[in-house]
Structure 1
Amino acid sequence: MNASKALPLFSRTISRRSFYLFSAATIAGAAAVTTAAAFDNKKQYNYNNRNNNNNSNGWGKFGTSIAAAAPIVHIAAINKDRTIDDYQRIYNKIAEKIREDDEYDGYIGYGPVLVRLGWHSSGTYNKENNSGGSYGGTYRFKLENSDPSNNGLQNAAQFLDPIYKEFNWISHGDLYTLGAVCAIQEAQGPKIKWRPGRVDLPESATPENGRLPDAVNGADYVRKFYARLRMNDREAVALTGAHCLGRTHLKNSGFDGPWGAASSSFTNEFFINLLNEQWKLQKNAAGNKQYDSPKGYMMLETDYALIQDPIYLKIVKEYANNEASFFKDFASSFQKLLENGIDYPKGAPEYIFKTLDDQDM
Structure 2
Amino acid sequence: MSPSLARLAPRALARATARPAPAAAATAARALGRQQQQQQQQRQYHHRQAPRTAKAGPSPVAIGVLAAGALAGWYFFSSADGEAKVTADSWRKIDFQNVYKDIAALLEDEDYDDGSYGPVFVRLAWHASGTYDVRTKTGGSDGATIRFAPESGHGANAGLDVARARLEPLKKKYPHISYGDLYTLAGVVAVQELGGPTIRWRPGRTDGKVATDCTPDGRLPDAAQGASHVRDIFYRMGFNDQEIAALVGAHALGRCHTTRSGYDGPWNASPTAFTNFFYTELLDNTWVPKKWSGPFQYVDKPSGAFMMLPADMAFKTDPVFRTHVERYAADQDAFFADFAKAFAKLLELGVQFPADAPVYEFKALD
The verdict on a shared fold, with TM-score over 0.5 as the criterion, is: yes
2:289 to 268, 281, 290: 281
Does 1:125 find its partner at 2:132?
yes
CA deviation string 1:57-86 (max 9, x = no partner): xxxxxxxxxxxxxxxxxxxx3447346xx0
Kindly indicate whether the alpha-carbon contact (under 8 Å) linking 1:215 and 1:300 is maintained by their aligned counterparts in 2. yes
- Matches of 1:80 and 1:123 in 2, distance apart? 23
Contact 2:86 2:207 in 1 (8 A): no
Q: Which residue does 1:353 correspond to in 2?
A: 362
Shift of 1:92: 0.3
Deviation readout 1:110-136 (Å, 9 max, x if unpaired): 000010000001111111111111001
Counterpart of 2:361, as a letter, is: I
Aligned runs of 1:161-200 on 2, under 5 Å?
Answer: 161-200=168-207
Which residue number corresponds to residue 63 of structure 1? none
Secondary structure of the corresponding residue to residue 292 of structure 1: strand
Q: Distance in 1 between matches of 2:92 and 2:196?
A: 30
Distance 1:245 1:113 in 2: 9
Give the number of equivalent residue pairs. 279
**In structure 1, how many angstroms separate the alpha carbons of the residues matched to 2:324 and 2:231?**
14
Distance 1:143 1:80, change over 3 A: closer
Aligned residue number for residue 44 of structure 1: none
| 1:234 corresponds to 2:245 | no
Distance in 1 separating the partners of 2:104 and 2:218: 31
Aligned pair partner of 2:99 in 90, 94, 103: 90
Equivalent in the alignment of 2:92: 81
Contact kept, 8 Å, 2:128 with 2:141, in 1: the verdict is: yes
1:251 maps to what in 2?
A: 259
SS at match of 2:106: helix
Contact 2:104 2:193 in 1 (8 A): yes
Aligned partners of 2:333 and 2:261: how far apart in 1? Answer: 31
Percent of residue pairs identical: 46
Structure 1's 80 and 126: CA in aligned 2 closer, same or farther, altered over 3 A?
Answer: closer
Q: 1:321 to 1:163 in 2, by over 3 A?
A: same
Query: Equivalent residues in 2 for 1:306-317 (5 A)?
Result: 306-317=315-326
Q: Deviations over 1:257-289 (max 9, x none)?
A: 110011000000000000000111234332x11
8 Å contact from structure 2 (residues 221, 229) kept in 1: no
Which residue in 2 is equivalent to 1:7? none
Higher mean C-alpha deviation, range 265-274 or range 250-259: 250-259
Corresponding residue SS for 1:136? coil
Q: 2:275 aligns with which of 260, 267, 272?
A: 267
What do the CA deviations read for 1:211-249 (whole angstroms, capped 9, x no partner)?
Answer: 111111111111111101100001101111100000011
Name the amino acid aligned to 2:260.
N
Over aligned residue pairs, what C-alpha RMSD do you find? Answer: 1.5
1:156 aligns with 2:163: yes
Match of 1:220 among 217, 228, 239: 228
Q: TM-score under structure 2 normalisation? A: 0.73
Q: CA deviation at 1:346?
A: 4.2
Residue 302 of structure 1: CA displacement? 0.7
User: Segments of 4+ in structure 1 off by > 2 A?
Assistant: 77-83, 281-285, 343-348
- The 1:175–1:285 alpha-carbon spacing in structure 2 relative to 1, beyond 3 Å, is same
Letter in 2 for 1:193: R
Secondary structure at 1:280's aligned position in 2? strand
